[in-house]
Every structure is written in structure tokens, then in C-alpha cells.
Chain A
Amino acid sequence: MTFSPESRPRFAPAELIRQPAFTALLALVLVFVLGLLFSGDGAFYKWGTHRDALRQASVYGILACGMTVVIISAGIDLSVGSVLALVAVCFSLFGIHWQWPAYAAIPLCLLIGAACGVVSGGLAARFGIQPFVVTLAMMVFARGLAKTVSGGMKVSTAIRTADGDYSYVEVPDIFRAIDSRLLDGNLSVVSLIFLVCVVLSWLCLARLRWGRYLYAIGGNEPAARLSGVPVAAMKMLAYGLCGLFAAVAGICQAAQEQQGDPEAGVGYELNAIAIVVIGGTSLMGGRGGIGLTLLGTLIIGYIEKILSINAVPEASRLMLTGAIIVAAVLVQRRKA
């Protein structure tokens, strides 16, 4: 039997149906059909609804991209919500209070997020502590740090002066820029940032040696180590990237709210994990990809949007989301 680089597997519909990408796509189509049926008095037919659905899901999506990279290495990062808050606070402090230019504030914020991730990853990989525990600790620590930096209050354009009064400053240009839209208002900048994150993490996972090593580590860590994969370093970088993306999400969040809230991002890590799981990436590691996470983000985003245009109360929305996550995981299990 010969194998040429051109030989592709034969087209087999039965095989295709068992691919996670197919299941996720099917779910997205299903959600779309639901949207067409329950269109909220025609709101679903308007382009603006779709633009907003994508914009509202973008921050979660950015977190989910980093989470995917970590989960594929058979890890988990619970600290992304807190890191998001920490960076949102820092970004507002640098940009609004201290009036730093964007080229100074943004790199420093990204560095803070990446550092949080590298610390978690380093502790998990070098000392063999479970990622769940390490990142749980980082989640608590980063939240505390966010409150310390902000003095426990929202960092906004209202600045308390020495005599107890508030003085108001202008919202910096960079905040406005991130919160704006492109292409005649048809694409939010935040959504564009999300798509850039998707492309970047796809390149990492699908094209870089590093990504291949992460799949190998998640799929069989002892075998990867015995094949010469530098396991600890690769894991540390994965958490670093996850922290970096949490920082990106924090910057976006701060720009959208025009303030840095130390209480922001509570529970976001769970949304990010839910998106990854619904997409079809295995929590056991070694299987999945960014494409699936993109689909997962759209599924969650559209469900939220459809529920909100139909004025479903938040309580029911939460319960429905929970049920949908379980359903998605059950479908995944049947395949495995």
C-alpha cells in the first residue's frame, strides 16, 4: 500500500456524522432555526441583532480561545474571570486616571495577564499540583489583587480628589476606539478582536510545534514525555497564553464599560469552559480545536440573544443554559 501526500480519506458520510465539528454545526443550525421560529417580532431578521449577538459573545469567546488551549493539554484555568477583572482595573487606572498612552498601557496589561497564567502554569507543571487547585488559588488571588489596586471601588472617569469631591475626566480615545464599530457600523471592534484571537490560537494549535505538543500532552502525557516533549515548558506557555487572552478580554470589558470594575468577570471562567465543552473539545484533553470553540461561542451567543429578544426572564435563561450544556456533553459522551 502506498501513501502519497495527496491521498485523502475516502468520503464517508457515516464518518462525517461522528465528527464533533458536524455535531456542533448541527447544533448551531438548530439554534438558528429556533431563532427564525421565535424571532422576537422579527428582531432576528435584522442584521443588528446578529452583530450584537456576536459582540456580546466576544468577551466570552476570547476567554474560551485561551481556555481551549489549556483544556487540550488536559488542564483547566479557573482564574480567567479574576484576571479579566484585574486587567480591567489596571487598564482603567493606566488609561483613565494616569492618562498613559495606549502603546504603554496595553502591553503592560497584556504582560500582567500573561504573568498570571505563567505563574499558574509553572506551579502546576513544575510542582505537579492539580491545575484545578492552582488556578482556583490564582482566581482568589487575582480577585484580591484587583481589589487592592482599585481600592475596592470602580475605576472610572469620576476621580476622587484630595478634598473628597469628584472630578471628571474625558474617556480616553483608546477606550472609545475599542468600543466602536467598523464597516459602516456593521462589525464591532471587540468582535474583530475576538476573531483575531481565534485565528491566533488556531495558528498555535494547528500549525505550531507547540500546539502539536499540547495535543500530545493532553492525549498521553507519559508517552509525550518519553518522546522528548518538554512537558513542563509547553504547559506553562499554554497557561500563559490563556492569561494573555484573559487580559485581552479584560481590556475589551473595560473599554465597553468605560471603567474598571474589580467585581467584573465573576463566573466568566465557567462560561468559557461551557463554550469549549459545547463546541466538542474533550475536557479529558487531547481532542478538539479552536474551530469547535468558535462554533461553541456562536451557539452560546445566539441562545442568549434569542432568549433575550423573546424577553425570557433571566432566571429561566440560566436554567435553559444549564440544560443545554448537559445535553451537549451527553451528545459528546455518546460519540466517545
Chain B
Amino acid sequence: MPLHADRPGPPTPVPLLRMAGISKSFGRQQVLREVCFDLRPGEVHVLAGENGAGKSTLMKILGGVHTDYEGHLELRGRPVRFRSPRDAAAHGVAVIHQELSLVRDLSVEDNIFLGREQSTLGWLRRGPQRRRAIDVLALLGVRLDVRRPVGSFSIATQQLIEIAKALALEADLLVMDEPTSALQGPEVERLFACIAGLKARGCGIVYITHRMEEVYRLADRITVLRDGNHIGTSPTAELPAPLLVRQMVGRDLSPAAAASAPTAAEVRLRLDGFTLRSAAGAARPVVQDVSLELRSGEILGLAGLEGSGNSALLWGLFGAHDGPAAGSVLLDGRPYRPTSPRKAIRHGLALVTNDRQRTGLVPALSVARNFTLASLPQLSPGGWVNQTAEYRVAAALAQALGLRAASLRQPVSTLSGGNQQKVVLGKWLNRNPRVLLLDEPTRGVDVGAKQEIYALMRQWSAAGAAILLITSELPELLLLSDRILVLHRGQVAARFDRGDATPERILHAAMGGQLT
């Protein structure tokens, strides 16, 4: 069954979609400011920008997820305001999300028609539905048993099923948010062929990607967002890669701080061919063949966009990765196999995750008890917690970190974001770690607290700790790192010394572009 069999051939001059003056805030934080965006029939329009530039938010407005926004949305010349994702889908807008939204235990065909089952008086029309599912998958070059549960297929196949689900909507406006993040070469080619087919039928496609080669293979036009602002929209031919990157980064950087410049310090951590595979068994490793050296007193910055695997690398080193690991790790010259967080902590590692609510703090426990959670064995001889000593330690940490709290006995969840982050850091400060793995240590923290956290990191490295730092804020990365390693799709894409790194070069490498 062909898609859009009766659609007229030549594209009409009316744009498929026009978004004008779109603004959106979450609380006091404005994430989109007067953004304009339009999409013509038969066009692939790439939406580019750094993490947090507002791309996803804009697409969530288009997909009917965010209904509370300012501005104007026109579909085929008619003003619309979607009330729900279902409403958007009914208007022919299909969104393929980056995170898979499939029900693992339902069959492929049931997933493709979930929420809009074809039925007669409540009885499913299995036959037509199944044939349709097979047809849609065939467009993507996939042949599989549509009666099997989705969860029994690989992540890459699931991604294709997700795309098929959107195609089955017969939408003429598709949003694809990083659709290739889990796909291998041949699957990517099939997806691109399918996109070409959709274009030929007059569908409009909004395409979000962090990969430079995809931008220049697919895009007819490119729109750049930065910090929620619309920077510009240009035909692809008028926007060469260096200019695109400059538009994406283009902001003033704070002056570089005094470099700590460690020279002949001993190598603290050494990775050779470190590889992590996902437990789900995707063909592509999450982290592949990463080698690096980290000296005592050094801060090594890890750059990479979403899905680059840099968070997974830190979890892997901490023994918390959920899947097989390979390669060699030397800690102070001795082999070290990261098998559990407990072991990692015993070996002097510390991990600050990028989500303090979910993996950093125990919200219901008091400030003092969160401070001492990782060092309780030292504070509880014979298994009995010495509460006086515990409180003394917590009070000393609070003072050293400049913690603002009414009491150390209040639940940590009652503190502000910056102060909560100080508690997370203080938990490890107390253990004097040899290697610190910091994943976005300043996320959601105000400017003042940020400076305090920077100072703390310098203090730590001056004391001889080696620090692996992930931050998606390039100025911060450039300010703090002695060296920078860029990951792209799990592999090392580039290495920079402090002097050579520029935001443009880092971002270029993070998007998988070749260095020129």
C-alpha cells in the first residue's frame, strides 16, 4: 500500500509549517525567545544547536507536548494550537523521539498502531493492520515477524520500528530527533533512502542531529538555535561547516584562569582500549577503544554531545556500568578492574553523577547523613554509628564548603540546588579521592555556587587528585581543563592541549567532523 497515493506532485508555495515568535519559559528560566521556524513541503530542514539550545523544546511545542507557550503556529496556512500529542498527530504531525517510546512487551504491529487501532465495533481488524505494518516496515527495508514483541529486537531495529510507527501515521510533517543515534551504516543508508522517498512525496522533515556529515547530506536548509535564540536560517549551500559551528557556539568566553599546568606528576589513571557494551546487546559499544592518561593534579575535560558515551565512560570506570567491559585500566600503575562502586570507592575513586536527585542524594535523609554516606565505615567502628563524630565531620564539611542550611538535621531535599550539589561534592571530599569523576558538577547551580565549585576542584587537584570532568558548557570546559578529550559515538574523536582548544574545534570534533 503506497503512502500518500493521491497527494499532488508539485509542492505548493504555502509553507507546510510556520512557527512565529515562539517563546517558552520553565519557571523563571526562558528557554525559547521569539523563535521563528518554517518548513516547506518536500524539504529536510535541519535544526542545529548545542545541548540546551532549545531544539527539543521547540519540537515538543510542535508535537503538542508543551501546550503552554507564546507565539503563533500555522499548519498549511491555517493557525493551529495543539492541545496534546494526539491532537498533533491527528493534524499530520509525527514526532520520532530520541528516547524510544515503544511498549517492549507488545508486538511490533500493536506498537505501530498503538492508540489508533483499526477496529470494527471494538474488534481489532488484525489482517489489514498486519499487512499495513509489514508495508511500512518494508519502506525502511526491514523484514521481520511483526507478531513478535518489540523487546525481542535489537535497539537498532527498535529505532526503525519507532520510525515505522511515525510513517504509518501518514503524516506529511515528520520530526526526527537524532534518529540515527543507535543505527549502523547500512541501516542509516536505508533510513536516508526512506527520507528521500518521503521528500519526493512532498513531506516536510525537521531533522535534529549532532552529526556533521548528516547535516550536509540531508539538509536543504539549516536553522541554528543558541541559548533559546533564533540565530539564523540559511540554505545549506550558504552555510559551510566552520560558519555553522561558529553560529552554534558564538558567545564570549570568560578569560582563562591561571592554569595549574602539571608537568612531571605521576600517571594516576591509564586506560588502554577501554570498551563498554550495553547490557541490551546493541551491536555498537557505548564506549569503544578509549585510551587516555590522567596525571595526578590534572583536570582532563571530556567533551561530547548527547550519546557520545562520556557519561558511560565515567560510570564504567566506577564499576557502575550495566554491561560488559573490556580493555585495561591502570590505577597508579597497578591493574584495576572496575566491578562495583564499592570496590571503586575502596580504590580511591569518586563519582559525581549528572543527576543529583536520581543518583546523587538520598532526599529524605538529613544533610549530615548524606555527607557521611560514603564514609560511614570509618565513622562506625564495630558497626555502631558514632553520631557525635558523624556530626562533627558533617559540620566541618559544611563550613569548608560554605553550605547555606538552617540545620544539618534538615532533609537534604529542602536545600537549594547549589547547596545540594555541595553536599554531593562534600560526600566525596571527606574521602580524599585519588581520582574524581565529575559529570556536570555545576548543572542547575547558580553563578556564585559555580565559582565555589570551581575553587573546590582546583583545591582538589592541587592536593594531587586527578579529575575527569564532563561539562556541556564549553566555556567551563575550557576554563578548567588542562587537556580536553572529545568523544563522538563512543570513540575518541580528538585530543586538545589547553592552548589548542577552541569552542569551534571542540564542537566540530564532537559532531564527528574531520579536522581541517
Q: Which residues of A contact B (CB under 8 A)?
A: 1-5, 7-10, 207-210, 212-213, 215-216, 219-220, 222-230, 286-287
Assembly CA distance A16 to B5 (angstroms): 69
* A226 and B353 contact, CB distance less than 8 A: yes
Considering the complex of A and B, which 8 residue pairs feature the smallest CB-CB distances, nearest first? A3-B395, A219-B362, A209-B380, A228-B345, A227-B374, A9-B407, A220-B362, A227-B373
Q: Which residues of B contact A (CB under 8 A)?
A: 318, 320, 341-342, 345-346, 351, 353, 358-365, 369, 373-374, 376-377, 380, 383-385, 388, 391-392, 394-395, 398-399, 403-410, 427
* A228 and B342 contact, CB distance less than 8 A: yes
* A2 and B399 contact, CB distance less than 8 A: yes
The smallest C-beta distance from B173 to any residue of chain A, in angstroms, reads 38
* B373 and A224 contact, CB distance less than 8 A: yes
Chain B residue contacts of A10, Cβ below 8 A: 406
* B363 and A220 contact, CB distance less than 8 A: yes
* B342 and A4 contact, CB distance less than 8 A: no
Chain B residue contacts of A215, Cβ below 8 A: 362, 364-365, 369
Q: Knowing A3-B394, A5-B395, A209-B376, say if A223 contacts B341 (CB, 8 Å).
A: no
Chain B residue contacts of A209, Cβ below 8 A: 376-377, 380, 383-385
Chain A residue contacts of B320, Cβ below 8 A: 225-226
* B374 and A219 contact, CB distance less than 8 A: no
The smallest C-beta distance from B193 to any residue of chain A, in angstroms, reads 41
Assembly CA distance A214 to B399 (angstroms): 28
Assembly CA distance A291 to B404 (angstroms): 31
A-B contact pairs, 27 of them (CB 8 A): A1-B405, A3-B399, A3-B408, A7-B407, A8-B407, A9-B409, A9-B410, A208-B385, A209-B377, A209-B384, A209-B385, A212-B385, A215-B362, A215-B364, A215-B365, A215-B369, A219-B363, A219-B364, A220-B361, A223-B362, A225-B320, A226-B341, A226-B359, A226-B360, A227-B374, A228-B345, A228-B374
Assembly CA distance A114 to B391 (angstroms): 34
Assembly CA distance A66 to B384 (angstroms): 20
Assembly CA distance A8 to B289 (angstroms): 53
Assembly CA distance A7 to B410 (angstroms): 12
Q: 5 other contacts beyond A207-B384, A215-B362, A226-B320, with CB at 8 A cut-off?
A: A5-B388, A209-B376, A220-B362, A228-B345, A230-B342
Chain A residue contacts of B365, Cβ below 8 A: 215-216, 219, 286
Chain B residue contacts of A216, Cβ below 8 A: 362, 365, 369, 373
Assembly CA distance A2 to B405 (angstroms): 10
Residue of B at shortest CB range from A219? B362
* B384 and A3 contact, CB distance less than 8 A: no
Assembly CA distance A213 to B361 (angstroms): 13
The smallest C-beta distance from B169 to any residue of chain A, in angstroms, reads 36
The smallest C-beta distance from A258 to any residue of chain B, in angstroms, reads 39
Chain A residue contacts of B369, Cβ below 8 A: 212, 215-216
* B399 and A212 contact, CB distance less than 8 A: no
Assembly CA distance A229 to B491 (angstroms): 32
Chain B residue contacts of A210, Cβ below 8 A: 383
Q: Knowing A216-B373, A226-B353, say if A207 contacts B385 (CB, 8 Å).
A: yes
Assembly CA distance A229 to B372 (angstroms): 12
Chain A residue contacts of B362, Cβ below 8 A: 215-216, 219-220, 223-224, 286
* B395 and A4 contact, CB distance less than 8 A: yes
Chain A residue contacts of B427, Cβ below 8 A: 227
Assembly CA distance A190 to B365 (angstroms): 34
* B358 and A3 contact, CB distance less than 8 A: no
Chain B residue contacts of A219, Cβ below 8 A: 362-365
* B408 and A226 contact, CB distance less than 8 A: no
* B364 and A286 contact, CB distance less than 8 A: yes
Chain A residue contacts of B358, Cβ below 8 A: 220, 222-223
* A223 and B408 contact, CB distance less than 8 A: no
Assembly CA distance A207 to B386 (angstroms): 8
Chain B residue contacts of A230, Cβ below 8 A: 342
Chain B residue contacts of A228, Cβ below 8 A: 341-342, 345-346, 374
Residue of B at shortest CB range from A204? B383
Assembly CA distance A209 to B373 (angstroms): 10
The smallest C-beta distance from B63 to any residue of chain A, in angstroms, reads 30
Chain A residue contacts of B376, Cβ below 8 A: 209, 212-213
Chain A residue contacts of B391, Cβ below 8 A: 3, 5
Assembly CA distance A263 to B361 (angstroms): 45
Chain A residue contacts of B405, Cβ below 8 A: 1
Assembly CA distance A228 to B433 (angstroms): 13
Residue of A at shortest CB range from B380? A209
Assembly CA distance A134 to B203 (angstroms): 52
Assembly CA distance A7 to B351 (angstroms): 31
* B341 and A225 contact, CB distance less than 8 A: yes
Query: Which of B353, B385, B399, B403: most chain A Cβ within 10 A?
Result: B385
Chain B residue contacts of A9, Cβ below 8 A: 406-407, 409-410
Chain A residue contacts of B394, Cβ below 8 A: 3
Chain A residue contacts of B380, Cβ below 8 A: 208-209, 212
Assembly CA distance A228 to B319 (angstroms): 11
